[in-house]
């Protein structure tokens, strides 16, 4: 059953992208013409539908808590713990709309996926190259400065330890928010690794919880508060995970 579910998952994964190739080309032309709202209409519809269907085909049941915590009067930098590959479709469906993601450079090599990521204005980062990482953070800052929201996994990589654990939050995501005045919205994702990686890269029915925590205003934030922001938000996410695992 796991094998059949996984085959259906990947057949749909690439089948949807191939079937909607003309939509992708239309979106790319609109992006080149600077028609951002028209591009948003395409990504809001197709990226959300694609990801929601993938989640269902994998047998994953998602509970989203705290969606009312997403500000409606300002753009945001969403920061979430990172346990598994399913974190990406989860974040693209659980928030107010799909947003660009700071993604590892390897994602740029996936055919068609990389082009849809460009429509979302994802930024690709080579974490092994310091200068390239700085350029990527600057590019993400420019996107947020333009008024768009953005998604970052500030651990920098997937945490492969026990459920409920997580790595240290790096400061880059938080500097993007403090430089632009965007709100920080912490997100705690529970059990995403059990969907796939924990089962030998096979899709397994899983209950996942995405908890969106109250937004943090960064406008006018004191320098000391800015310095402690990564650790403070990390503590909030750890606490939310602990409560979900209790």
pLDDT tens readout for residues 126-179? 888 788 888 999 999 999 999 999 999 999 888 888 888 899 999 888 999 999
Q: What local confidence, expressed as pLDDT, does residue 132 receive?
A: 83
Structural domain range at position 13 = 2-245
pLDDT of 246 strictly over 70: no
CATH of the domain at 56: 3.40.1130
Q: Is the pLDDT of residue 70 over 70?
A: yes
How many domains would you assign to the chain?
Answer: 1
Per-residue pLDDT tens over the stretch 214-223: 999 999 899 9
Q: Which of 62, 30, 32 is nearest to 43 (CA)?
A: 30
Q: What is the pTM of this model?
A: 0.95
H/E run at residue 103: strand 100-104
């Amino acid at each position: 059953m796991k094998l059949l579910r996984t085959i259906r998952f990947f057949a749909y994964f690439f089948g949807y992208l191939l079937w909607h190739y003309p939509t992708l080309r239309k979106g790319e032309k609109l992006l080149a013409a600077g028609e951002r709202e028209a591009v948003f209409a395409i990504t809001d519809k197709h990226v959300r539908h694609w990801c929601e269907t993938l989640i269902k085909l994998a047998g994953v049941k998602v509970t989203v808590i705290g969606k009312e915590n997403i500000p409606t009067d300002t753009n945001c930098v969403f920061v979430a713990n990172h346990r598994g590959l399913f974190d990406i479709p989860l974040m693209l469906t659980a928030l107010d709309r799909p947003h660009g993601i700071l993604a590892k450079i390897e994602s740029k090599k996936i055919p068609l996926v990389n082009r849809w990521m460009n429509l979302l204005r994802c930024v690709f980062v080579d974490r092994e190259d310091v200068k390239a990482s700085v350029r990527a953070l600057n590019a993400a800052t420019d996107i947020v400065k333009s008024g768009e929201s953005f998604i970052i996994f500030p651990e920098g990589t997937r945490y492969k330890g026990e459920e409920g654990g997580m790595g240290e939050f790096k400061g880059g995501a938080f500097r993007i928010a403090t430089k632009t005045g965007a709100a920080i919205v912490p997100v705690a994702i529970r059990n995403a690794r059990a969907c796939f990686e924990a089962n030998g890269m096979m899709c397994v029915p899983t209950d996942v919880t995405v908890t969106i925590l109250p937004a943090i205003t960064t406008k006018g934030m004191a320098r000391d508060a800015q310095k402690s922001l990564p650790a403070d938000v990390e503590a909030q996410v750890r606490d939310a995970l602990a409560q979900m695992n209790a």
